[in-house]
Amino acid sequence: DARVTQTPRDKVTEMGQEVTMRCQPILGHNTVFWYRQTMMQGLELLAYFRNRAPLDDSGMPKDRFSAEMPDATLATLKIQPSEPRDSAVYFCASGLVIGSSTDTQYFGPGTRLTVL
């Protein structure tokens, strides 16, 4: 049963520290998404990749966040330096996009980040 995996599941860190979150998309999927979920803002899209190329990272604070796909089996989201307002659950999702349609996305279990 293929699924998206994310590590770590929980991360507690101090303000100013670097945080790296990792995601392994489902094999064969060509699109990877990073979302952030908070009580106040709900689910927000941070970035997404298609065939490993970044297509949209307009939702991401560029000065401290960066997202990459070094290869087809790994997506990373990095925050440097982290701030308390970055505390949230970060989800990775993958999907298979054919043509212009955006269909089902498969979500990982999330990384719960707490920045003290």
Which residues bind to other proteins, rule: CB under 8 A? 4, 31, 33, 35, 42-43, 45, 48, 50, 55-56, 91, 93, 97, 100-110
Q: Within a 10 A sphere around the Cβ of 30, how many other Cβ atoms?
A: 15
Least distance between other proteins and beta carbon 28 (Å): 16
State whether residue 65 is helix, strand or coil: strand
Identify which of residues 70 and 99 has a Cβ nearer to other proteins in the complex. Answer: 99
Closest listed residue to residue 65, CA positions, set 83, 91, 42: 83
Least distance between other proteins and beta carbon 60 (Å): 12
